[in-house]
Chains A and B, each alone.
Chain A
Amino acid sequence: MAIVEDRNIIAVDVQNAVKRYGSFTALKTISLSIKDNEFFTLLGPSGCGKTTLLRIIGGFEELSEGAISLFGDEIAKLPPNKRPINTVFQNYALFPHMTIEENVMFGVEMRGGSKAEARQRASEMLDLVQLTQFASRKPSQLSGGQQQRVALARALAPEPKVLLLDEPLSALDLKLRQAMRYELKEIQRKAGITFIFVTHDQEEALTMSDRIAVMSSGELQQLGTAREIYESPHNTFVADFIGETNLLEVSVDALSGGSATCHLGGGHELICDEVKGVGVGAKVHLSIRPERLTLSDTPMEGASLSGVVRDNIYIGTDIQTIVDLNEGPQMVIRTSNSDRGNKRIFEPRSPVFVNMEKGAARLLAD
């Protein structure tokens, strides 16, 4: 494996991509650069345009406007069979009349490889996805998880420069889906090429991706690492879509030295980091992750909001406490079950204070 690698070579560059279907605009001027050797995820709810963007990169849809290049070469006008990009389809689309081996050989042969070469490559790929013993079976004789891996082997066999994956895990059951996440990531590392992965499952995106592009209604909402997107969401949509959060309506009272003083209903006051684009008097949203809040029966230093416990919900790893702030909104607080020893569980109707560490609350520009 190469030790020195340039992390800044651009594999796929999308510039001002627009896609219209009649009067409907599926993609509204999207620009993004996907790096070489990166596990890149397009994340968003259904209808956000993520699959459209993937199909444009694959060559199955034509751009209405804009440009795409692959390692510097313009590819927007090339048909799919002229692009060194392969796809793992959502329903796998394994050829049902061919054996597993023939499926994996197909792309190598179509690309001009000899039969022997294709067979050699197929055996390597089936070895990679641990399905060597199924080479002579038909796709219908395999389980969903195995078919999924065949689809992966088939797409990797012709040595594409970029691999596209269109919600490949969505047809699998939960346990298998979780196991496949690590396997996919491992295979990407071994293959050493760019993976562009489409999903609506934020947990999938967070666990596998080097970088995530969050999309909604045909627009790019935020681009960043999993940590950036989870901890520093740019706007209400991202904060709400990724993980669980308390979204509170606040108004900004004062700004000083990089901090913003805000208040929410009931006279509660909060201090958080200043955010570009939010000035004094602005009525905006504030996001606080439930696991970054703690409860106590006396007010603590810093932000401490008074309220009453409504309910405790046991959810396995955590206990979720719902608190009605006095004359204010409702908040959800998550307490890990592992440190229950040093944290109190407050019974419903008991008065409490909700405390947050510095930097936990984040102002959202819109």
Chain B
Amino acid sequence: MAQAGEDIKNYPGFMPITLFCLVVLYAPLLVVMIYSFNESKSITVWQGLSFKWYVDVFVGPESAKFKEAAINSFSIAIVAALAATAIATSAATGMLRGGSFRGRGFSFGLINLPLIVPEIVTAVATLIFFSAIDFERGYLTILVAHIAFCIPFAYMPIAARMQGIEDTYEQAAMDLYANKTQAFRLVLFPLMLPGIVSGFILAFIISLDDFIITNFVKGAGIETLPTAIFGAVKQGIKPNIMAISTMLLAVSIVMVTISYFVGKSGDKLKQPPGEK
């Protein structure tokens, strides 16, 4: 048992460091959230509570632009996340249930490479690739790029879940007269499902929030929410931007929370070691 003196709270400087980190991380977000409810057009002076900037987002002069960007963002995020999840599920099954094949380590690196490569490099490379094959830039280029960089994010929770599933479950299914397809469909897939849902949500959020790659490959005349916000900010920060940002933040928080609970909700995979 830990002694009172070893409690991390008693380390010198624990409170100041904690507070400093929390302020640096969250104060900017808080400012944005608070001022999105400001009555005034000012972004520094508080003049009372109001929802008018939220109304402005939906019916104001820029609403058409934002609506189109939102539709693009959400449709791309859903399709990209679905595709990335399907690819990541197959990849995880191959990597973790395919036995040891040649180039297994290499494949693992390949799947996770986008996590390590600086996003700007991926962005430039993707742009060069699309130019090289003469692919007209627009909705499709954004979608293809998003599918590609979402795969490792979908792969991580799926592989983590799968690693916890001992292969005796599939052996037991086979032992009980299930063929390979039935063993996957009736036993392995349901056990993997929390990881798959988690992976889908993570990929969805990553796609929804992406700015750098999208900005490079999107071409003229099409915007997603992040690029639309960036474009609007260039003409000066208005509180309606803060309102949109706050709503995006809310969507992200809700999705990540769902992902967390889905990941935890799955049926316990480990058996108790003995009598409970």
Contacts and interface: CB of A to CB of B under 8 A. Distances in A.
Interface of A: 58-60, 79-81, 85-87, 89, 91-97, 106-107, 110-111, 138-140, 143-145, 147, 154-155, 158, 171-173, 176
Given A60-B171, A110-B182, A138-B267, A171 B176 contact: no
A81 B191 contact: no
B168 interface: yes
Contacts of A91: 166, 168, 271
B271 A144 contact: yes
Nearest to B272: A144
B94 interface: no
Q: Among A95, A144, A155, A176, which residue has the most Cβ atoms of chain B within 10 A?
A: A95
Interface of B: 166, 168-169, 171-179, 182, 186-187, 190-191, 267-269, 271-276
A86 B174 CA distance: 10
Nearest to B172: A93
B49 to A, nearest CB: 48
Contacts of A93: 166, 168-169, 171-172
A173 B275 contact: yes
A95 B172 contact: yes
Nearest to A102: B186
Contacts of A111: 176-177
Contacts of A138: 267
B174 A80 contact: yes
Contacts of A145: 275
A96 B269 contact: yes
B171 A89 contact: yes
Contacts of B176: 81, 86, 106-107, 110-111, 154-155, 158
9 contacts: A91-B168, A94-B271, A96-B269, A97-B190, A106-B186, A107-B176, A107-B177, A154-B176, A172-B275
A59 B190 CA distance: 25
B178 A89 contact: no
Contacts of A92: 271
Given A58-B175, A89-B168, A97 B191 contact: yes
A96 B267 contact: yes
A144 B169 contact: no
B274 A97 contact: no
Can you list the 9 inter-chain pairs with the closest CB atoms, starting with the nearest? A107-B176, A96-B267, A110-B177, A93-B168, A93-B172, A140-B268, A111-B177, A80-B174, A110-B178
B177 A147 contact: no
B174 A144 contact: no
Given A91-B271, A106-B173, A144-B271, 14 more contacts: A59-B175, A60-B175, A81-B174, A81-B177, A87-B171, A89-B168, A95-B173, A97-B191, A139-B271, A143-B275, A144-B272, A144-B274, A172-B274, A173-B274
Nearest to A170: B274
B171 A80 contact: yes
A223 B178 CA distance: 34
B166 to A, nearest CB: 7
B60 to A, nearest CB: 49
A47 B166 CA distance: 21
Nearest to B182: A110
Given A81-B179, A107-B177, A87 B172 contact: yes
B275 A144 contact: yes
Given A93-B168, A93-B169, A95-B169, A144 B276 contact: yes
Contacts of A96: 191, 267-269
A17 B172 CA distance: 24
Nearest to A172: B274
Contacts of B274: 144, 171-173
A146 to B, nearest CB: 9
A95 B267 CA distance: 9
A328 B171 CA distance: 55
Contacts of B177: 81, 107, 110-111, 158
Contacts of B273: 144, 171
Contacts of A171: 271, 273-274
Q: Among B168, B173, B179, B271, which residue has the most Cβ atoms of chain A within 10 A?
A: B271
Q: Among B174, B186, B272, which residue has the most Cβ atoms of chain A within 10 A?
A: B174
A214 B174 CA distance: 29
A147 B271 contact: yes
B163 to A, nearest CB: 15
A173 B171 CA distance: 26
A287 to B, nearest CB: 35
Contacts of B271: 91-92, 94, 139-140, 144, 147, 171
